[in-house]
Amino acid sequence: MNNRNAGSVISRSINLLFGDENIARWETVKKIIRNPNSRIGLIMIGILVLVGIFAPFIASYDPYQQVLTESLEPPGLSHPFGTDLYGRDVMSRVIHGAWIAVKICVIGVGIAFIIGNLAGALSGYYEGWIDTIIMRIVDSIMAFPFLVLVIAIMAIFGPGLKNLYFAIAIVSWCQYARIVRSRYLSEKEEDYVRAAEAVGFSDKRIIFGHLMPNSIAPTIVYASLDCALVILLAASLSFVGVGAQPPIPEWGAQIAEGRQLLQVGWWIATFPALGIMYTVIGFSLIGDGLRDMLEK
């Protein structure tokens, strides 16, 4: 089978370049690719990322350029997705919106992931007062309905994309912390941690070198599903007006604009919505695939 040959060639080259220790990591990557869910998901998100990065080159028009004479044109040859009220090419706006979606995921979820993992690790490993403080903060944050809290934060710091990342991170990290904390609480009683202590490894090394690799997998699964949620969250916020402000081509903002025009220009809201759907499906598939892998 072609796959196997390619795989073994790559294995051997990795072996030569990085030492056979890293073969184990390549095996994990291979497993992720083999799972049908994660494979499709990765391809979908991969395309999304590429579209986002190369947006200025792919999009035929400037997403901000208004050509009032061409307003509300239905999808056609020159504008495959049509134009909106101000004559802006919807397709170019959707393509640029992809980049924004990617940024939201990477920055928003990324920050939450890092903070959450760190907080959960310290909480679970040390217990005591660190645990109490962190967990009470988590409880306080989680006491608020997610959306309400984010809107409140946006209201304090003002609307806009930059604050959006921040708000998402503040609210999302809690769940990661809880997951990681419970893993640490149970894993740290295992013999291999005792053995690591007996060798004399420092707390830092045990927390990050021994326990973290074991506890990170469920959070990665959660993160991929979180990306889907976060996209929807950002879209909802932009929709109600506290997220990305016009004329930024964020998908949610575009849907908000297009909502009132559904009867005269269905394409204005529909294509961004499809974009969101595509992204959410992609991330969900990755999450499902990773979770299947985890359960083995």
Six-digit token string for 248: 């930024």
Tokens of residue 262, six digits: 């559904």
Residue 18 in the binding site for other proteins (CB under 8 A): no
Residue 88 as a binder of other proteins (CB under 8 A): the answer is: no
Q: What amino acid is encoded at 15 in this protein?
A: N
Only segment of 39-47, 178-186, 187-195, 271-279 that touches other proteins (CB under 8 A): 187-195
Q: Which of 69, 213, 263, 295 binds other proteins (CB under 8 A)?
A: 213
Q: Is 209 in the site for other proteins (CB under 8 A)?
A: yes
Residue 233 near residue 168, CB atoms below 8 Å = yes
Query: Residues 10, 20, 139, 186: which binds other proteins (CB under 8 A)?
Result: 20
- Asked if residue 200 binds other proteins (CB under 8 A), the reply is yes
Q: Whose Cβ is closer to other proteins: residue 21's or residue 69's? A: 21
Residue 214 pairs in a beta bridge with none
Residue from 147, 195, 240, 277 in contact with other proteins (CB under 8 A): 195
Question: Per CB under 8 A, which region of 20-28, 54-62, 95-103, 249-257 contacts other proteins?
Answer: 20-28
For position 21 contacting other proteins by CB under 8 A, the verdict is: yes
Work out the angle between the directed axes of helices 90-103 and 266-295 (0-180°, nearest 10).
Answer: 30
What span, in angstroms and rounded, lies between the C-alpha atoms of 88 and 83? Answer: 5
User: Residue 89: what are its φ and ψ, rounded to 5°?
Assistant: -70, 120
Distances (CA, A) of 265 to 62, 87, 201, 229, 277: 20, 12, 64, 27, 20
What tokens appear for 198 in the block? 């007996």
Q: Which is nearer to other proteins, 162 or 194 (CB)?
A: 194
Confirm or reject binding of residue 295 to other proteins (CB under 8 A): no
User: What's the chain's length in residues?
Assistant: 296
Stretch that binds other proteins, among 40-48, 168-176, 197-205, 220-228 (CB under 8 A): 197-205
Which segment (130-138, 190-198, 222-230, 280-288) binds other proteins by CB under 8 A?
190-198
Which positions ≥6 away from 106 have C-beta within 8 Å?
none
Number of chain residues interacting with other proteins (CB under 8 A): 20
Helical pair 266-295 and 212-240, crossing angle rounded to 10 deg: 170
Among 18, 190, 203, 260, binds other proteins (CB under 8 A): 190
CB distance 187 to 215 below 8 Å: yes
d(CA 62, CA 49): 19
Among 1, 191, 204, 295, the residue binding other proteins under the rule CB under 8 A is: 191
Q: Give yes or no for residue 197 binding other proteins (CB under 8 A).
A: yes
Contact residues for other proteins, defined by CB under 8 A: 20-21, 23-24, 190-192, 194-201, 209-210, 213-214, 296
